[in-house]
């Protein structure tokens, strides 16, 4: 089955700096890679996702890059703000049909702290 590794486990930055979180996956059939933000005691919320037919996607201060050959993808947050402080999870799944039901395999999470 799929295995997703996420690094670093904790990341501390100053407000205005950039933050980068990296994930690797093992299953070459995976074709959808979402990123979720989870604040303490809250539900995971999607912040950005990327499909395997593109290499990069950007949404304001957030971007995700995907390298299918190397099987890794990264989250980039620019101009960080204190409200970006949360736990971030990467995930991977295959939506290829058949018995691929789209279950998400998550990384271990990154605790991001943005200091004012």
Partner 1 sequence: DTGVSQDPRHKITKRGQNVTFRCDPISEHNRLYWYRQTLGQGPEFLTYFQNEAQLEKSRLLSDRFSAERPKGSFSTLEIQRTEQGDSAMYLCASRQDLTGRETQYFGPGTRLLVL
Binding site for partner 1 (CB under 8 A): 4, 6, 32, 34, 36, 42-46, 49, 51, 89, 91, 93, 95, 99, 101-109
The minimum distance between CB 14 and partner 1, in angstroms, equals 25
State which residue, 19 or 47, has the beta carbon closest to partner 1: 47
* Minimum separation from the CB atom of position 44 to partner 1 (A): 5
Q: How far apart are CA 55 and CA 5, in angstroms?
A: 19
What kind and span of H or E run contains 42? none
């Amino acid at each position: 089955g799929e295995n997703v590794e996420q690094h670093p486990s904790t990341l501390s930055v100053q407000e205005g700096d950039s933050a980068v979180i990296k994930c690797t996956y093992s299953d070459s059939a995976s074709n959808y890679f979402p990123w979720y933000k989870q604040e303490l005691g809250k539900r995971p919320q999607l912040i950005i996702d990327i499909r395997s037919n593109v290499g990069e996607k950007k949404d304001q201060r957030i971007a995700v890059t995907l390298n299918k050959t190397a099987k890794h993808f990264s989250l980039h947050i620019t101009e960080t703000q204190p409200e970006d402080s949360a736990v971030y999870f990467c995930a991977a799944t295959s939506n290829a049909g058949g018995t691929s039901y789209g279950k998400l395999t998550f990384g271990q999470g990154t605790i991001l702290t943005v200091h004012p």
